Amino acid sequence: MTKEQILELAKSCGFENWTRDKGDCWECLEEQLLKFAQEIRKQTIDEILTSLKEVPNPEANRTAINRIMSI
């Protein structure tokens, strides 16, 4: 994920941001942080699975995908 995608996801999860002298600050509730972390994990796994589907060894792919999905 790009920086822009991560920040957009934070906004969509309800994080609030404002600018201070030293840069942007972010604030969220526990449930928003958990939602954000779960979505980051989901999108990362989806990216990995997409990459694995392009590898030529289907049996190795199946094994790797099954391990990732069981985490």
> For the chain, what are the domain ranges?
3-69
Give the model's pLDDT for residue 32.
97
Residue 60 gets the label, from left (phi > 0), alpha (psi -120 to 50) or beta, of alpha
pLDDT of 26-54, one tens digit each?
999 999 999 999 999 999 888 877 877 77
Question: How does pLDDT run across 9-28, given as a tens digit for each residue?
Answer: 999 999 999 999 889 999 99
What is the model's pTM?
Answer: 0.72
* Residue 71 scores a pLDDT above 70: no
**Residue 33 confidence (pLDDT):** 97
* Angstrom distance (rounded) from CA 46 to CA 12: 19
Enter the DSSP assignment of 55. Answer: S
